């Protein structure tokens, strides 16, 4: 299912964004602190949204298999 692949890629991308932001903050804690905080919050939200898509796709596949059996 294409939705699962897209959501998995979205989770991976968001985790990379979060990690990069955390590393930038660790190197220079007071440099763009507000921007980095917002970046991490957006990445966290993106992970949650993509995880919800994955759960929904899994539920839909399960329902489809239940119908077929």
* pLDDT bracket for residue 68 (50, 70, 90): confident
pLDDT tens for each residue of 28-41: 998 999 999 999 99
Calculate mean pLDDT across residues 18-45.
96
pTM of the model: 0.84
Supply the DSSP string of 19-63, one letter for each residue: HHHHHHHHHSTTSSHHHHHHHHHHHHHHHHHHHHHHHHHHHHHHH
Length of the chain: 69
């Amino acid at each position: 299912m294409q939705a699962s692949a897209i959501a998995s890629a979205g989770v991976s991308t968001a985790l990379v964004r979060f990690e990069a932001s955390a590393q930038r903050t660790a190197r220079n804690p007071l440099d763009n602190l507000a921007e980095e905080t917002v970046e991490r919050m957006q990445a966290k939200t993106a992970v949650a949204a993509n995880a919800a898509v994955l759960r929904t796709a899994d539920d839909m596949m399960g329902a489809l298999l239940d119908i077929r059996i």
